[in-house]
């Protein structure tokens, strides 16, 4: 979350009037901030400029917040220049004026852009409609130097702006104050209704203070050691984090609480400080403190927690916990239970990153606990995951919502991911058999990966029985040309296990095709080798005279690679064994 806007958005006229005591009229300049569309767009652009320039006093230039503010500054200025054409601003001590409308007002000298421009002599700034990003960026760099600079010998703004050599940005400036500027002038409202220039600088403004008529010598007295210890203790490393937390509490509880967004921005700054100081205990206290103050508006509380509990904060909160921790600290458990869905997503990301590390156990328990209220989060993530991450998510979903996990497993059988398909097979193997499970098993038997097919064939046969015999036979006949020896044997065993009678019928047709049948053009044992392998593997599992006759046929007329195996299988059969075909 970006820090708070330092300059508040221009209030509407009616809002300003309501905020003033009864009988007191709102100042004209405040009322005129909300004016024409051109003025409103210019106001937004100038606020974006000041926020970007001041951000360098708070953040490292590479910080994400700075980049976000700079992008907003670019977009706001592009909108006002492309939408309304040239932007010509008159500079006053506390305001920037567009035509007869105030588009920027800030009376705090330390924060005011207009004050810095006016103090250094700038009286007018004009942006041509063709002003490009290169010039806007150089202007931002100049203003940021003046905001962050602390050395007296630095060039003033006028010098810096003129050195920049702008083509589309022009300024009008003076050297110091002209005499009429040192006199009191009429209110801004009178100026806006007329044509008189106005610079609201009081007499003796910004000049050296007058000497005191009475001088007294400076006297020093020693400070007691205990007082020095107390003073040092107030700024000690171990006490400053507590002071920061107390500052947030005081702002939240202050009568007529200041702008809430500003307070929440400050709370996020305190979070950054606590992260650097590795004070995970105070991070929890800070989250609870702000959340408690926002509970009357649950949506605001959820939005704050979603921003507060980012990945870095979650890692810091969980770092002190042991991997085998079974009970979370109550305060941390309260925050995680109240956290919105975004936090659960981040916990899932941390779990995926943890892999098989010891911390995965703790993260797994946290994700399972959080997902009990929203199992759809895991199901949604599973659809886009793959590999080990998808396997982990499917297992988590099984703990949280078995029914949803089974449905997700059936859907995942169509995903071309061998690791995930092997995991789904385990789920389908344990589930009650029904048409949905049958479809899932069939998808796995048709997988592009042989390892998956080898694992799925016996499961499909065992779970489906005679109901899947035709599907298994169709699989062999469709893919006979690609069957390896291992898969052909697995398919034969699966056919025999599903239904001995149906398997014998298939073997008879393959090895003794009738004219006009599927293999009607084959003569005697001209059946392709894969079919012979499937039949031999199945016949080893089936008893009875019909199976024995087919083994004899394979031993006498089968492929040379299989004759010895068929003969050995025939000798291994018990004499007089009855027909065990189903």
List, for residues 309-333, the tens digit of each pLDDT value.
Answer: 887 887 777 777 777 766 777 777 7
Per-residue confidence band for 234, with pLDDT thresholds at 50, 70 and 90: confident
Label the pairing between strands 122-127 and 95-98. Answer: unpaired
Residue 122 has pLDDT above 50, yes or no: yes
Q: Which of 31-40, 75-84, 358-367, 496-505 has the highest mean pLDDT?
A: 75-84
| Residue 390: CB atoms within 10 Å | 23
- Cα separation, 270 vs 267, in Å, equals 5
What is the residue-averaged pLDDT of the chain? 76
Q: Are 458 and 494 in contact (CB under 8 A)?
A: yes
In a domain, 170, yes or no: yes
CA proximity to 128, closest of 171, 99, 72: 171
- Tell me, what's the pLDDT at 200? 53
Label the pairing between strands 169-173 and 122-127. Answer: antiparallel
Q: Are 248 and 292 in contact (CB under 8 A)?
A: no
Q: List Cβ neighbours of 117 (8 Å cut-off, separation of 6 or more).
A: 91, 125, 157
Domain that holds residue 568: 450-582
Domain boundary among 177, 193, 209: 193
Per-residue confidence band for 58, with pLDDT thresholds at 50, 70 and 90: low
Residue 95 backbone dihedrals phi, psi, to 5 degrees? -135, 155
Domain boundary among 161, 193, 225: 193
Instruction: Show the tokens assigned to 379.
Output: 């199901």
| Residue 227: CB atoms within 10 Å | 10
Q: What is the pLDDT of residues 5-29, one digit of tens each?
A: 343 333 333 333 333 334 434 333 3
Q: What is the pLDDT of residues 255-287, one digit of tens each?
A: 766 678 888 888 888 888 888 888 888 888 888
Structural domains in the chain (count): 2
Would the pTM count as exceeding 0.85?
A: no
In a domain, 550, yes or no: yes
Q: What is the mean pLDDT of residues 100-116?
A: 87
Instruction: Show the tokens assigned to 477.
Output: 């006949």
In a domain, 405, yes or no: no
Q: Are 99 and 148 in contact (CB under 8 A)?
A: no
3-state helix, strand, coil in the chain (%, to 5): 60, 5, 35
Q: What is the mean pLDDT of residues 207-236?
A: 77
- Cα separation, 196 vs 184, in Å, equals 13
- Tell me, what's the pLDDT at 465? 87
Residue 566 has pLDDT above 90, yes or no: no
> Which of 170-184, 212-226, 463-477 is the least confident region?
170-184
Domain boundary among 144, 176, 193: 193
- Cα separation, 445 vs 439, in Å, equals 10
Residue 524 or residue 208, greater confidence: 208
- Tell me, what's the pLDDT at 147? 61
Residue 228 has pLDDT above 80, yes or no: yes
Q: What is the mean pLDDT of residues 349-378?
A: 68
In a domain, 257, yes or no: no
- Tell me, what's the pLDDT at 89? 94
Residue 470 or residue 4, greater confidence: 470
- Tell me, what's the pLDDT at 557? 83
């Amino acid at each position: 979350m970006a820090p708070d806007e330092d300059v508040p958005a221009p209030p509407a006229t009616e809002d300003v009037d309501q905020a003033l005591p009864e009988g007191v009229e709102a100042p004209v300049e405040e009322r005129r901030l909300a004016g024409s569309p051109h003025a409103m767009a210019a106001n937004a652009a100038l606020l974006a400029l000041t926020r970007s320039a001041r951000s360098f006093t708070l953040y490292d230039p590479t910080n994400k917040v700075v980049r976000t503010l700079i992008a907003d500054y670019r977009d706001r200025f592009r909108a006002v220049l492309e939408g309304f054409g040239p932007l010509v601003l008159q500079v006053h001590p506390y305001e920037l004026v567009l035509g007869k409308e105030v588009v920027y007002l800030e009376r705090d000298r330390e924060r005011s852009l207009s004050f810095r421009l006016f103090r250094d002599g700038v009286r007018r700034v004009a942006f041509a409609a063709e002003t490009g990003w290169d010039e806007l960026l150089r202007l931002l760099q100049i203003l940021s130097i003046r905001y962050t600079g602390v050395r007296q010998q630095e060039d003033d703004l006028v010098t810096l702006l003129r050195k920049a050599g702008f083509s589309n940005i022009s300024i009008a400036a003076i050297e110091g104050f002209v005499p009429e500027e040192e006199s009191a002038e009429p209110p801004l409202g009178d100026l806006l209704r007329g044509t008189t220039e106005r610079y609201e600088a009081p007499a003796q403004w910004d000049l050296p203070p007058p000497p005191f008529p009475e001088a007294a010598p400076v006297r020093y007295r020693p400070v007691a050691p205990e007082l020095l210890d107390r003073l040092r203790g107030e700024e000690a490393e171990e006490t400053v984090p507590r002071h920061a937390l107390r500052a947030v509490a005081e702002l939240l509880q202050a009568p007529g609480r200041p702008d809430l967004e500003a307070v929440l921005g400050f709370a996020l700054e305190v979070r950054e400080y606590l992260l650097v100081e590795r004070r995970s205990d105070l991070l929890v206290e800070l989250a609870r403190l702000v959340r408690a103050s926002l509970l009357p508006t649950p949506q605001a509380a959820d939005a704050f927690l979603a921003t507060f509990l980012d990945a870095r904060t979650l890692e810091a909160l969980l770092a002190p916990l042991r991997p085998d921790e079974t009970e979370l600290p109550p305060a941390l458990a309260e925050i995680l239970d109240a956290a919105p869905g975004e936090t659960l997503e981040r916990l899932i990301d941390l779990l995926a990153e943890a892999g098989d590390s010891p911390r995965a156990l703790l993260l797994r328990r946290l994700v399972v606990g959080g997902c009990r209220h929203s199992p759809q989060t895991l199901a949604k993530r599973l659809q886009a995951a793959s590999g080990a991450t998808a396997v982990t998510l499917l297992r988590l979903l099984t703990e949280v919502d078995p029914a949803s996990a089974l449905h997700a497993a059936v859907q995942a059988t169509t995903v071309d991911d061998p690791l995930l398909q092997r995991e789904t097979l385990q789920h389908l193997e344990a589930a009650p058999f029904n048409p949905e499970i049958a479809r899932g098993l069939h998808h796995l038997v048709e997988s592009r990966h042989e390892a998956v097919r080898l694992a799925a064939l016996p499961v499909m046969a065992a779970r489906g029985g005679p109901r899947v015999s035709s599907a298994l036979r169709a699989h062999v006949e469709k893919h006979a040309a690609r069957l390896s020896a291992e898969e052909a044997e697995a398919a034969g065993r699966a056919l025999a296990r599903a239904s001995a009678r149906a398997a014998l019928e298939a073997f008879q047709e393959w090895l003794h095709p009738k004219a006009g049948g599927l293999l009607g053009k084959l003569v005697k044992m001209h059946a392709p080798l894969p079919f012979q392998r499937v039949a031999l593997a199945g016949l080893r599992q089936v008893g009875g005279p019909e199976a024995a006759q087919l083994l004899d046929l394979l031993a006498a007329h089968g492929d040379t690679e299989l004759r010895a195996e068929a003969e050995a299988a025939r000798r291994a059969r018990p004499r007089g064994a009855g027909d065990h075909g189903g």
